[in-house]
Amino acid sequence: MKRTLALDTDHFATLRGAARLHVSRGTLWLTIDGEPDDHVLGAGDDFVLPPTARALVQALDAPALARLDTMGEAWWRGVANATRAAWARPATVLS
């Protein structure tokens, strides 16, 4: 499901679960519950939230516009399978 997230300066939104956030305009501050690092995203940036994420996002300095694409469990299974397959391949040693 795709939806638009429009935030005025200093307004917050709560995000839950698997989603891809694409910033179209402005700057967003993003913090995920339980993670030590915060993220600042500018226009053109993408951020993928894991399935268990509980996040808070805020517009900084000026109104911001972002697209939020929620991702179902099947999408995450595909990511997990691709990651396992990549790690299973033998490494190439470059000299």
The residue assigned the tokens 């005025």 is: 8
**3-class secondary structure, 85:** helix
Average pLDDT over residues 38-42: 95
How does the average pLDDT of the chain come out, rounded? 83
Q: How far is CA 91 from CA 36, 55, 78, 82, 86, in A?
A: 31, 35, 22, 16, 10
Confidence of residue 18 (pLDDT cuts 50, 70, 90): confident
